[in-house]
Structure 1
Amino acid sequence: MRLLVCTTEYFPHGAGIANVVYNVVEQLKEMGVECTVCSPTGPDIELGSWDLIRKTGAGGLLNYWYQVSRRFKENNFDVAWLQNPFIVTRNPFERCLVTMHSTYYGSSMHGVGNLSFHLYKSIVAHIERYCLNRISPNSYFTGVGQPVCEELEKIGIPGDRITYILNGVNTGAFRPLPDKIAVRKRLGIPEDDIVLLSVGRLTHQKQPLMPVEVFSHLERELDNTTLCIAGRGELLEEARALTERKGLRKVRFLGYVEDQDLPDLYACADYYIMASKYEGGMPPLTLAEAMASGLPCIVSDIPNLGIVKDADCGIAVDFANLPGASADILEYLKKGPQDHGVNARDCAIRSLDWKIIAGEYLRLFREICEH
């Protein structure tokens, strides 16, 4: 099988989409699939501009997909795999699978960000609806979360053309460590503290201020607890300022952590905390990585994080009610995680390993080729 992969981001550039596509492609290659990846940074075909996408958002996305529609008017690939496509002109691929990692429709409906950002999302959501409904009626769709699949139906995609495929994780790289102390020494993290870890972009939809707010309550009750926040984003300085205003002593901002260092960072923590208001992936990649690392998880009570309840590997709290969330988390930390870390790791191995996820995509590619 000759597979063309079209994506606006690809490892090591980008975030969630880049991670998913890279890991699935690597597994597909081992399964004998001939993969050609087209993105603004290659590695096989370069189209569009990564800088333009980062600076303009939707403008850069439209530019990339316009170039894709021109470049592949005629092609001899068996099937094309398109990631969150914005093809305004005719889709050149008769046989394709469209994978949606999130939708602008979903984020606009959840009111993520300030008013101007919300208006931007709403406008792009209309473009997204137009583009997706112009995709060939023979095309298949997948969503990396059940809510994304539901959003696709609301956009106008027939439900019988949509399949839900989980996000995955490298369970070999992300795993528990027998000795957390050595890693904590190397990373400058208190050796004997209870460590809560947050990993991801510090953006409005991730609500990074919430863990800081909660920790201001925890620090008064538990003096042997540290909150580590890894990542960058537009709310980083606001999160730092909030920490200073509240006089918190044990909040560590780690900044951007290189991919090769992430497994050790997860593994040396005691709990994972995620306060997102909206997520596209199910589970989000950072949550999958935390689960594979054997961390009990403290998450927002939203549908895309429901795997924590299903796997019995942590608790879900309402971060909109900060006093209530703080009380629930404090009680959980005092009580201890029970078997939640073991359950998290078991679920990751059983359901989230990239080899399993790639097998699901391969099944769909074969089905498309047969039609």
Structure 2
Amino acid sequence: MGEKMRVLICATEYYPDGSGIANVMYNVVRELEGMGVEYTICSPTGPDIKLGDLDHIKKYGILGMLQYWYQVSRHLESNDYDVAWLQNPFIVTRNPFKHCLVTMHATYYGARTYAIGNLPLHLYKSLVTHLERYCLTRMPTNTFFTGVGKPVCEELENIGIARDRMVYIPNGVNIRRFRPLDDKKPMRKKFGIPEDDVILLSVGRLTQQKQPYTMIEVFSHLEKEVGNVTLCIAGKGDLLEETKDLAEKIGLRKVLFLGYVDDRDLPDLYACSDYYIMTSKYEGGMPPLTLAEAMASGLPCIVSDIPNLAIVKDADCGIILNFGNVSTASDQILDYISNECSEHSQNARRYAIDQLDWHLISEQYLKMLLEIKHGEVTLDL
């Protein structure tokens, strides 16, 4: 695909600031650049066009996002880009872009449906869900959508977007950065991880949807049964201190809170662990970025039974559990880690190489962008 194309990418976050959306776009953009695509990044931190205010978005949520998208619609009203690629947009005014692709990394509709958070948060998400529906359904009919998870596509359909205007393109992973490590012990010293323990790793923000309390309760059962097992939790988030307090209250000795781990160190952290664990109640991406990184690192995966994590079954690289019953889930994990899992480790790595390499994912996006440019969208990815 050697055709030249000018793409405008608009997002409320971009690497190195932000998390999911920022990392996805950064990795895809690097691949597209190698395919000859000319791109302009517009976000509150640039790097090409700076609009909105990242601090306002962090502090005021949807109000900060609305400010950003309003500025996008006004500042870029006159443009000559071949395609505008919008990430989770909230454009309440007229969409100024002639050719447009919308990528949804999650929906407020989905978060509300899965009843994540307390009552004030439910009310907030309910309000934003109506706003989300208004913004997305009034997009021009020649606007096409991608969802980073099959459930996200189903949520879009429930919101009111026709199925023939959307396609699922999964999250990816850099299979060269994230890879297995034969000798784990030397790298464990770097993070202060017990060299001879079985290591369960969790990476990501500690929020309601991740259910960190459930993870701690499940691990408390494991710690009583197994002396040489450690749970490593990497990440910050609203529930970090409360999760630490719970672990201390229960009296756990083998939980290691690593806090924020720099992106440059993450490959080593995955590679020196033994298993990856996710107790999430809701995820947008399929797979979530951290799960893709764990699979590329050859980690057998222990995950909750939500649609976005079903990829573990498809890849045959771990076990899927109902964490609603903590005692039963703990027994299943104990049985799982007591048996040899080299086949699941190999399957995880193989699936990441064959299905989740960022280069493969970016080729799907490029095909979509070119078809939108020429007005010949087939959605046969």
- Tell me if TM exceeds 0.5: yes
Deviation at 1:28, TM superposition (A): 0.3
> How far apart are the structure 2 equivalents of 1:182 and 1:330?
26
Indicate the residue corresponding to 2:33 in structure 1: 29
Offset, 1:336: 2.8
Q: Superposed, which structure 2 residues align to 1:85-124 within 5 Å?
A: 85-124=89-128
Secondary structure of the residue aligned to 1:339 is helix
1:118-162, CA deviations, whole angstroms, 9 ceiling, x for partnerless residues? 111111010000000111110100000000000000000000000
The answer on 1:17 being equivalent to 2:18 is: no
Please list, as runs of the form range in 1=range in 2, the aligned pairs for 1:259-270 lying within 5 A after superposition: 259-270=263-274
Partner of 2:7: 3
Q: Are positions 1:322 and 2:326 aligned together? A: yes
The TM-score normalised by the length of structure 1 is 0.99
Measure how far apart 1:276 and its partner are.
0.3
1-structure distance, mates of 2:345, 2:212: 23
Residue equivalent to 1:200: 204
Supply the distance in 1 between the matched residues of 2:31 and 2:342 (Cα, whole angstroms).
34
Query: Which residue pairs with 1:79 in the alignment?
Result: 83
Per-residue deviation, 1:2: 0.3
Aligned length: 371
User: Which residue matches 2:285?
Assistant: 281
The separation in 1 between residues aligned to 2:157 and 2:369, in whole angstroms, is: 21
Partner Cα distance (1:329, 1:116) in 2: 34
Residues 226-265 of structure 1: pairs in structure 2 closer than 5 A = 226-265=230-269
Query: 1:215 maps to what in 2?
Result: 219
Give 2:155's aligned amino acid. Answer: E
User: Which residue, out of 168, 185, 197, partners 1:181?
Assistant: 185
Distance 2:331 2:19 in 1: 33
Give the CA deviation at 1:238: 1.1
Distance 1:200 1:117 in 2: 20
Equivalent-residue separation in structure 2 for 1:50 and 1:177 (angstroms): 37
Q: Aligned residue for 2:378? A: none
The residue type equivalent to 2:13 in the other structure is E
1:59 maps to 2:57: no
Describe the SS at the equivalent of 1:42.
Answer: coil
Q: Counterpart in 1 of 2:229?
A: 225
Dislocated runs of 4+, deviation >4 Å: none
**CA apart distance, 1:338:** 4.0
Per-residue CA deviation, residues 276-335 of structure 1 (Å, 9 max, x unaligned), is: 000000000000000000000000011000000110000010111111111111110112
Amino acid at match of 2:318: G
Q: Which amino acid aligns with 1:354?
A: W
Distance 1:168 1:57 in 2: 27
CA distance in 2, matches of 1:297, 1:226: 15
Q: Secondary structure at the match of 1:74?
A: coil
Cα distance in 1 for residues equivalent to 2:208 and 2:123: 14
What SS does structure 2 have at the residue aligned with 1:149? Answer: helix
Instruction: Kindly provide the amino acid, as one letter, of the partner of residue 65 in structure 1.
Output: W
| AA in 2 matched with 1:169 | V
RMSD: 0.6
Question: Shift of the alpha carbon at 1:187?
Answer: 1.1
Report deviation, 1:204. 0.2
61, 74, 88: which one pairs with 1:70?
Answer: 74
What is residue 344 of structure 1 aligned with on the other side? 348
Does structure 1 residue 152 correspond to structure 2 residue 156?
yes
Residue in structure 1 matched with residue 145 of structure 2 by the alignment: 141
Secondary structure in 1 matching 2:264: helix
> CA deviation digits over 1:34-54, x for unaligned, max 9?
010000000110000000000
Q: Greater shift after overlay, 153-162 or 174-183?
A: 174-183
Residue number in structure 1 paired with 2:308? 304
Q: CA deviation at 1:210?
A: 1.5
1:72 deviates by 1.1
Structure 1 unpaired stretches of 5+: none
- Give the secondary-structure state (helix, strand or coil) at the position aligned to 1:142: strand
